[in-house]
Amino acid sequence: MATQQLIEYAEANSEVRAIYDDIRATRKTDYISNFWKVLANDPTALKRAWESTKQVMAPGALDPLVKEMLYLAVSVSNQCPYCIASHTVAARKKGMTDAMFHELMAVVGMANETNRLVAGYQVEIDERFTSS
Amino acid sequence: MATQQLIEYAEANSEVRAIYDDIRATRKTDYISNFWKVLANDPTALKRAWESTKQVMAPGALDPLVKEMLYLAVSVSNQCPYCIASHTVAARKKGMTDAMFHELMAVVGMANETNRLVAGYQVEIDERFTSS
Amino acid sequence: MATQQLIEYAEANSEVRAIYDDIRATRKTDYISNFWKVLANDPTALKRAWESTKQVMAPGALDPLVKEMLYLAVSVSNQCPYCIASHTVAARKKGMTDAMFHELMAVVGMANETNRLVAGYQVEIDERFTSS
Amino acid sequence: MATQQLIEYAEANSEVRAIYDDIRATRKTDYISNFWKVLANDPTALKRAWESTKQVMAPGALDPLVKEMLYLAVSVSNQCPYCIASHTVAARKKGMTDAMFHELMAVVGMANETNRLVAGYQVEIDERFTSS
Amino acid sequence: MATQQLIEYAEANSEVRAIYDDIRATRKTDYISNFWKVLANDPTALKRAWESTKQVMAPGALDPLVKEMLYLAVSVSNQCPYCIASHTVAARKKGMTDAMFHELMAVVGMANETNRLVAGYQVEIDERFTSS
Amino acid sequence: MATQQLIEYAEANSEVRAIYDDIRATRKTDYISNFWKVLANDPTALKRAWESTKQVMAPGALDPLVKEMLYLAVSVSNQCPYCIASHTVAARKKGMTDAMFHELMAVVGMANETNRLVAGYQVEIDERFTSS
């Protein structure tokens, strides 16, 4: 159980409601996830997190599905159960197929393996990887 | 300094040479990075790592640039200097622009932040994220 | 379920009882948490962990609340559910208010973000940060 | 070597200069660290990171020294060399004595140890740590 | 709940059945754990993971119990609940006693502590640890 | 450069000298590594760390080489350059051969990979792994 209460729309102050409204409009869904409802205990944190998320996850040089998969890859690597559950759903909504998910998992697994091989074998960085 | 020697082509046995040849043919470059040269101290490990890499990073449901960026995202999250240096170069060769790199970094930074917000606020997983 | 049994006071040997007594006296509470009851399966480990805890968390140049918040910050960053749950309660008992908790979380989130920005952008350490 | 250039004030655009000016005014120093100079390659990221930092690290329910020590504790736990070097200097400027630093390190070390003891012994969360 | 289905033997294709058969023969048990049943959603991943596991965990210069304990030590350090639960059982089957488990845990705890002491105190590597 | 001075024997106080003497006697070498010389800036921390190390790494149910390899496995997984360099040397002194080192690395790499596969595929713990 969270030590923080879930702040529902009905009981939220106007500052929090405005953010919930923006989340709903931006994501084209009525659903507000527990993450935002818990963060709403600190409206300043909610605002900062939402504005960053909105800006960072918006279409840009990378499309939203790629961004969602990068997010998921980091969350899997960090072993964050909530983030894995929620961003797997989000990535699927944006078009991640089973085949894409399996390939993502294979890359994340291998990167975690080779990151340690490099560390344990104390591999020095090739000169050509450090010059600008 | 690596506690393991770098195994150069000239001094490699035929098993290692065959893998170096395959790396060169697959990647269309003569260059063999320190990672492979160090792993070559254990030809079995070299073979296993190369065959997995070749299979996992090949074009599939995800294109090679997306895979390279997922790899980089995990390596940044794990703070592996060698892997960051080498895979940044690899991703750029496959077409990652400055703008794409900046967006990748923004996602990785934010995922690392929100992974901890979720943990610290002890957010429970929404029911809708757990049903199949 | 823990693979180790919870060792209750009634069934504990005299060595373990002496430590339970000291925990109770030091913390001014009768309650012994599951952490200690599980560690008690290895009385040597229990003794070592308790003596370190008692020494490290005692008032000193830093007051106990600050120490408890540092502990919590590390546990959140490491995403340890048990440690987050128990040390959030402990910090609140020592005076951590909601406002303090929110600020702690904001710092932990941001540190986790910027730690990766530094790694991914391969920022070199400023000379002035390395001279003694 | 960073793969990104250090953006010096003289060569920065007006958006970046405005942030450099604000960093200098807020921190009462002319010095801009490599972190900001590298982030300036992506002015949007620089702005987002600086505004969060300014907001999060400002005096509040926790004083700036405690916040700086929380930041340092996370960076030590994550083993980020740049962040450790820079935030050790920052914490000392805000009043962290040798004795305080040693106590911080003892807490960080112990939290990292006990986080794993809890995980490996599969300790279940005490009921009293989960009720609101 | 896993977002991926558990693939039981009866519903598996011939490729997956062949691997299940090999797992059973190699491990001298009929039991197939959830890990393999979930991975079987991607038969290529299942094959790659099983062949690596079979090769890496086989008796060699290190005996299987030592390998199992190294695996467990890493899983505890990474705080992976599934891996800790399954590899604790596996290590016990291979002969890990209570005393051995307690000593393993003590080493893992201490390594996690001293890894951070080294990082936070910014200890430079002794010259004698870097020469070949 | 460490922000803490290396405390040499000649300049150490009697408390620190006693520990240096015990390290030398226990390890049968005159050499004191930088880790201990830096920790000596906080004699209390030095004493606590040395006494734990001496107790934890002593022969017991596990022999010292296995303990040293567990320590190394965790340090590789955590990517701690100092700890990897020093404990690789220590393990070799205690008898770790090249073949043993390669097998250790293979296990550490694979555990890091499968820890993430389990997390990302959200594998539920098998009932038989949780019953006592």
Tens-place pLDDT, residues C33-62: 999 999 999 999 999 999 999 999 999 999
What is the structure's pLDDT at A114?
Answer: 98
Chain D CB contacts of F79 below 8 Å: 79
Other beta carbons within 10 Å of A8: 12
Averaged pLDDT of chain A: 96
Residue in C3, C5, C132 closest to F1 by CB: C132
Chain B CB contacts of C114 below 8 Å: 109
Chain C CB contacts of A38 below 8 Å: none
Q: Mapping DSSP to helix (H, G, I), strand (E, B) and coil, where does residue A52 land?
A: helix
Chain B CB contacts of A110 below 8 Å: 52-53, 56, 71
Q: Report the distance separating Cα E87 and Cα E70, nearest Å.
A: 10
Q: What is the mean pLDDT of residues F54-62?
A: 97
Percentage of chain A with pLDDT > 70?
Answer: 97
Q: Report the distance separating Cα A67 and Cα A91, nearest Å.
A: 9
List, for chain E, all residue ranges whose pLDDT scores fall below the cut of 70. 1-2, 132
Closest CA to E64 of E74, E76, E56, E73: E56
What is the structure's pLDDT at D4?
Answer: 87
Q: Which chains touch E (3 or more CB pairs under 8 A)?
A: A, B, C, D, F
Check CB contact under 8 Å for D103 and C60: yes
Instruction: Find all residues with CB under 8 Å of A15, minimum gap 6, and list them.
Output: A43, A47
CA distance F130 to chain C (A): 6
The residue of C3, C5, C80 whose CB has the most chain E CBs within 10 angstroms, and thus the best one to mutate to test that interface, is C3
Contact indicator for F98, B41 with CB cutoff of 8 Å: yes
pLDDT tens digits along D32-45 = 999 999 999 999 99
CA distance A129 to chain F (A): 19
pLDDT tens digits along F90-111 = 999 999 999 999 999 999 999 9
Q: Report the distance separating Cα B125 and Cα A2, nearest Å.
A: 10
What is the structure's pLDDT at F4?
Answer: 87
Instruction: Find all residues with CB under 8 Å of F86, minimum gap 6, and list them.
Output: E125, E126, E129, F33, F35
Alpha carbon distance, N-terminus to C-terminus of chain B: 49
Q: Which chains touch B (3 or more CB pairs under 8 A)?
A: A, C, D, E, F
Percentage of chain A with pLDDT > 90?
Answer: 95
Q: How far is CA C107 from the centre of its chain?
A: 17
Check CB contact under 8 Å for C84 and B114: no
Residue in D1, D2, D48 closest to A55 by CB: D48
Q: Which residue of C has its CA nearest to E92?
A: C3
Give the DSSP letter string of B75-108: HHHTT-HHHHHHHHHHHHHTT--HHHHHHHHHHH
Residue in C79, C85, C88 closest to A80 by CB: C79
What is the structure's pLDDT at F86?
Answer: 97
The residue of D79, D105, D113, D115 whose CB has the most chain E CBs within 10 angstroms, and thus the best one to mutate to test that interface, is D113
What is the structure's pLDDT at C4?
Answer: 87
> Is the pLDDT reported for residue A132 higher than 60?
no
Averaged pLDDT of chain F: 96
Check CB contact under 8 Å for D33 and C126: yes
CA distance B83 to chain F (A): 12
- Would you say the pTM of this structure is higher than 0.90? yes
Chain D CB contacts of E108 below 8 Å: 116, 120
pLDDT tens digits along D79-88 = 999 999 999 9
Q: Which residue of B has its CA nearest to F92?
A: B3
Instruction: Find all residues with CB under 8 Å of F88, minimum gap 6, and list them.
Output: A122, B3, E129, F72, F101
Chain C CB contacts of E106 below 8 Å: 42, 45, 48
CA distance D41 to chain B (A): 9
Residue in F42, F48, F78 closest to D79 by CB: F78
Q: Report the distance separating Cα B55 and Cα D79, nearest Å.
A: 32
pLDDT tens digits along F17-28 = 999 999 999 999
Cβ neighbourhood burial of B29 (10 Å; 0-12, 13-18, 19+):
exposed
Contact residues, chain D to chain F, C-beta under 8 Å: 79, 85, 88-89, 98, 102, 105-106
The residue of C112, C114, C115, C121 whose CB has the most chain B CBs within 10 angstroms, and thus the best one to mutate to test that interface, is C112
Q: How far is CA F6 from the centre of its chain?
A: 20
Q: Which amino acid is at C97?
A: T
Q: Which chains touch C (3 or more CB pairs under 8 A)?
A: A, B, D, E, F
Q: Report the distance separating Cα D61 and Cα A30, nearest Å.
A: 34
What is the structure's pLDDT at C1?
Answer: 44
What is the structure's pLDDT at C74?
Answer: 98
Residue in C79, C85, C102 closest to A78 by CB: C79
> Is the pLDDT reported for residue D1 higher than 50?
no
Residue in A79, A85, A102 closest to E79 by CB: A79
Check CB contact under 8 Å for F112 and A116: yes
What is the structure's pLDDT at A1?
Answer: 44
Residue in A45, A48, A79 closest to C79 by CB: A79
Q: Report the distance separating Cα A106 and Cα A69, nearest Å.
A: 13
User: Where residue F1 falls among pLDDT bands split at 50, 70, 90?
Assistant: very low
Residue in F3, F48, F80 closest to D79 by CB: F80
Check CB contact under 8 Å for D73 and C73: yes
Q: Report the distance separating Cα D108 and Cα E54, nearest Å.
A: 38
The residue of D41, D46, D47, D52 whose CB has the most chain A CBs within 10 angstroms, and thus the best one to mutate to test that interface, is D52
Chains C and E form CB pairs within 8 A to the count of 16
Give the DSSP letter string of chain F: --SS----GGG--HHHHHHHHHHHHHHTSS---HHHHHHTTSHHHHHHHHHHHHHHHSSSSS-HHHHHHHHHHHHHHTT-HHHHHHHHHHHHHTT--HHHHHHHHHHHHHHHHHHHHHHHTTPPPPGGGT--
List, for chain C, all residue ranges whose pLDDT scores fall below the cut of 70. 1-2, 132
CA distance D81 to chain E (A): 7
What is the structure's pLDDT at D132?
Answer: 53
- What is residue E61's DSSP assignment? S
User: Crossing angle of helices E81-93/E64-77, nearest 10°?
Assistant: 160
Closest CA to F126 of E34, E72, E83: E34
CA distance B25 to chain D (A): 27
Residue in E1, E2, E48 closest to B55 by CB: E48
List, for chain B, all residue ranges whose pLDDT scores fall below the cut of 50. 1
